[in-house]
Amino acid sequence: MDPRPGIFHGWWIVAAVAVTLSVSVTTVVINSFSVFLRPLGDTFGWTRGQISAALALAGIGTAIGAPLTGMIADRWGARGPILASISAVSLCLMSLFALTSRIEHLYAIYALTGLICLGSTPLLFSRIIANWFDRGRGLALGLATTGIGIGSLFVPVLAQGLIANFGWRWAYLWLGAAIALVGLPVTALVIRESPGGMGLHPDGRTPAAPGKPPLERNFGDALRTRAFWQMLAVFFTVSACLNGCLSQMAALLGDRGESAANAALAISLFGGASLVGRVATGWLVDRFAAPLVAGAFFALSGLALASLWQGAGGPAAYLSAFGLGLGMGAEADVMPYMVSRYFGFQAMNRLFGLIFGAFTLGAAAGPAIMGAGFDRTGSYAWPLGWLTLAMAIAIAGVLTLPKMRPAETRF
């Protein structure tokens, strides 16, 4: 029975995942990356392109680790890998307190973090949420991943404050410690793999009468579908566009005359919009076709990219940051939702692992493009123009995905 009468335990798991993700690798390592760009450059004399390559290596590590992590979770469960990953990521980030002047040291830590971080990302948490919810799966996934939006709202400002008052080394140490101090106890005490182990059923409802069985695809069959590869390409491209811009946001706005505090505020607006995007997308995909919902949110982000490309500053830049955040929130929610609806549970961790790997490769490629473009031209105009074009192509890609199965055959 549910140990908390009156409240379906699945909602406690949603809350626990949200809390854990608020101080996850996404918020602490990726979404706060741009706040550390100038301090690291000032300390060691590294260029923005050189520093941004560290984030690219983290993305490559994650792309390698995602399918392997998915395979392990499909076979042995997700809870153990989640706990191990949270611990390891915390130690990696804390170790940057002792960062040396050899940039290879920075690269090694970020590459290792990317390789081992999958347990503290939505990859494994999304499968657990999907186990607990059926009819309200989109909303549950959206609410669970709001932790990333909440964390992105306050962690960049917190990181900037720590850097300003204590230096970037102490900022890395304390942020790394927060990952373990929050994530480990919450995961260990609350999160369970599936409702069946507690004598419960998805959504907390009485099982419906047997009907048409859901369509399940095995790993090989799914890889032979157009939908899988089209989704992989779309999510790679959108991730490159949004993460590329986010990784340089503080430096970009600083170049346009904004203070470090105001630039951090813009990143926080990105996080707040991501929060809105996740919840809104989750509610909408339970009612409308997920590709159409995703396309609408990606279009808003495309307009934001175009605005920054045209030199937006001041209030317009903050509005652009908000628009980019809406797209990021939508992408994070529709990825696991669409994988579960198109292909089922049989190989969900492995399939989502591949798509999440592509997403993280995009998160690596975007910052590299932005940093290298700035180093080469002294401006972000050229890379922003290419990312705007790529976003338009991705919007067309998501809108032309095959139709999802009718609601009555969903599981």
| 14 burial level (CB within 10 Å; 0-12, 13-18, 19+) | buried
What token pair was written down for 79?
A: 């809870």
Residue-wise over 387-401: b if at least 16 C-beta within 10 A, else e? Answer: bbebbbebbebbbeb
Q: How far apart are the first and last CA of the chain?
A: 23
Nearest to 127 by CA among 388, 411, 349, 355: 349
How many C-beta neighbours within 10 Å does residue 3 have?
8
Tell me the C-alpha distance between 80 and 331, whole Å.
26
Say if CB 372 and CB 49 are below 8 A apart: yes
Round to whole Å and give the CA distance between 297 and 189.
35
Q: What is the structure's pLDDT at 214?
A: 55
| Cα separations in angstroms, 8 against 120, 151, 195, 248, 336 | 24, 25, 10, 42, 22
CATH number for the segment(s) 12-198+216-409: 1.20.1250.20
Alpha-carbon span 129 to 140, nearest angstrom: 7
* 411 residues of the chain, pLDDT tens digit each: 444 456 788 889 999 999 999 888 888 887 788 889 889 999 999 988 888 889 878 878 888 888 788 788 777 777 888 999 999 999 999 999 999 999 999 999 999 998 888 877 888 888 888 888 877 888 898 888 888 878 877 888 899 899 999 999 999 999 999 999 998 999 888 888 888 777 777 777 765 544 445 556 777 888 889 999 999 999 999 999 998 888 787 778 777 777 777 777 777 777 778 878 888 998 898 888 899 999 999 999 999 989 888 877 777 877 888 889 899 888 888 888 898 888 877 778 888 888 988 887 887 788 888 888 888 888 888 888 889 999 999 999 999 998 765 443 333
Q: Are 55 and 363 in contact (CB under 8 A)?
A: yes
Burial label for 213, CB within 10 Å (0-12, 13-18, 19+), is exposed
pLDDT at 149: 74
Taking the C-alpha atoms of residue 274 and residue 287, their distance in angstroms, rounded to an integer, is: 20
Q: What is the pTM of this model?
A: 0.72
Residue 405: predicted pLDDT = 59
Helix pair angle (226-247, 33-44), 10° resolution: 50
Amino acid code (one letter) for 363: A
Position 411 scores a pLDDT of 34
pLDDT at res. 72: 81
Q: What is the dihedral of CA 268, 96, 188, 158, to 10 degrees?
A: -20
What string of H, E and C letters represents the secondary structure of the chain?
A: CCCCCCCCHHHHHHHHHHHHHHCCHHHHHHCCHHHHHHHHHHHHCCCHHHHHHHHHHHHHHHHHHHHHHHHHHHHHCCHHHHHHHHHHHHHHHHHHHHCCCCHHHHHHHHHHHHHHHHHHCHHHHHHHHHHHCCCCHHHHHHHHCHHHHHHHHHHHHHHHHHHHHHCHHHHHHHHHHHHHHHHHHHHHHHCCCCHHHHCCCHHHCCCCCCCCCCCCCCHHHHHCCHHHHHHHHHHHHHHHHHHHHHHCHHHHHHHCCCCHHHHHHHHHHHHHHHHHHHHHHHHHHCCCCHHHHHHHHHHHHHHHHHHHHCCCCCHHHHHHHHHHHHHHHHHHHHHHHHHHHHHCCCCHHHHHHHHHHHHHHHHHHHHHHHHHHHHHHCCCHHHHHHHHHHHHHHHHHHHCCCCCCCHHHCC
The domain spans of the chain are 12-198+216-409
Residue 114 CA to chain centroid, in angstroms? 13
Amino acid in position 171: A
Question: What is the number of alpha carbons within 13 Å of residue 79 lying toward its C-beta?
Answer: 12
CA angle at residue 161 from 145 to 370, to 5 degrees? 65
pLDDT of residue 397: 94
